[in-house]
Structures are given as C-alpha cells and as structure tokens.
Structure 1
Amino acid sequence: MTSEVLATYEKIAGLTNQMVMAAQSSDWDSLDRMENQCAAASVALMGGAAPLQGDARQRKIDLLKQILANDRAIREVTEPWQSRLNG
C-alpha cells in the first residue's frame, strides 16, 4: 500500500508541474484537463491508508511541498487572469 500511496503523490506532483507550464503558456485547455486528472488521482488518497513511516513519510512530505509550490505558481498566473475576467 505504501508504494501505491507514494505513486499517487508522485503522479499528482508530476501533473501539477505540467500544470505550471500550461498556465505559464496560457494553455487553459491542458490546464483544465490536468486539473481533472489531479482531482481523480486525489480520490485514491481518501481511502484512509495507514500513516507512512521513515523514508516513505519523508518522501510524502517532500512531494506535498512540491505540490504546494506548484499550486502557488499556478495561482500566480491564474489569479490575475481570473480577476480580469471577473472585473
């Protein structure tokens, strides 16, 4: 189960990295598609797996930091764009 959980976090981290690039290049269709893929992958993490220990726990923390940094980078591009649409 540990490897499945980490594989899911790896997938989400990779997708969010691609989402940053899509946002920076104004590829909104790809961004939307990958956002849906992230949401689908996140569902697998809601099963309540046992807490990770040791190296696996640290890898999960590193992946979460990467995902959050990617999210911040995406928002830096999209929030001003969305404000212009709503304004």
Structure 2
Amino acid sequence: MTEMLIDYYKAIEDSSRKMLDAAKAKDWEEVVRYEGACAVLIEQLHFRAQTEDLPPEHRTEKIKIMQRILRNDAQIRTLAEPWLAQFDKLMQGQPQTMH
C-alpha cells in the first residue's frame, strides 16, 4: 500500500503525542527521540509534497491534525521550561567548547 500525504501528518501527530507523554513523564531522552522521529517524518512529508498534492477530502483532516500537533507542542514547551532553566543553570560557568 502506498502511503498518502495524510498518513505522514498522522504519523507526525502520533510522534508528537508520544513526545508529550514522555514530557509529562519527564523522560527528556524519549522527548528528544520522538522529536527526531518527527523531524524525519517532516522531511519525508516535504519531499513527497513536492510531487503530490493533498486531496481536497483530506484538507479538513490535515487542519485538525495540525491544530492537535500545535497544542501538543505548546504543552511540551510548558513542561520543558523548568528543565531548560535547570539545564541553563548547569551550563553557566562551564567552559564552552566547539565541536
């Protein structure tokens, strides 16, 4: 079965939901893992979208999926703020090295 563009949106939403669940559990390594999965899926979506169009019957579903992804992202950011602040404190005073 050939994946349709809407399947990529659904997969991105699924990874976004898993990322939120990991953030709620304060499992930041899992958050980063799912963030990477989202990035790969987004790249694949961009590539496919260059040669394929989203059928009109999927456009409303896409909008709803995107809204849910944005809500997940907002919640993840809220959950991550204390962790990021703690990370910044740890990094203060540390020698900065370039790799």
Partners of 1:41 and 1:28 in 2: CA distance = 20
Partners of 2:65 and 2:51 in 1: CA distance = 17
Superposition deviation, residue 85 in structure 1:
1.7
What is the match of residue 60 of structure 2? 58
Alignment of structure 1 residues 4-83 onto 2, 5 Å: 4-47=4-47, 48-83=50-85
Q: Which has the larger radius of gyration?
A: 2
**How many residue pairs align between the two structures?**
85
CA offsets 1:18-38 (integer angstroms, 9 cap, x no match): 111100101112111111110
**Deviation larger for 42-51 or 52-61:** 42-51
Which structure's relative contact order is higher, taking Cα pairs within 8 Å and 6+ residues apart? 1
Give RMSD over aligned pairs. Answer: 1.5
CA offsets 1:5-57 (integer angstroms, 9 cap, x no match): 10000001011111111001011121111111100000012122555353300
The TM-score normalised by the length of structure 1 is: 0.86
What is the match of residue 86 of structure 1? 88
- State the percentage of identical aligned residues: 29
Partners of 1:51 and 1:79 in 2: CA distance = 37
| Contiguous gaps of at least 5 residues in structure 2 | 90-99
More helix by share: 1
Partners of 1:82 and 1:67 in 2: CA distance = 21
| Contiguous gaps of at least 5 residues in structure 1 | none
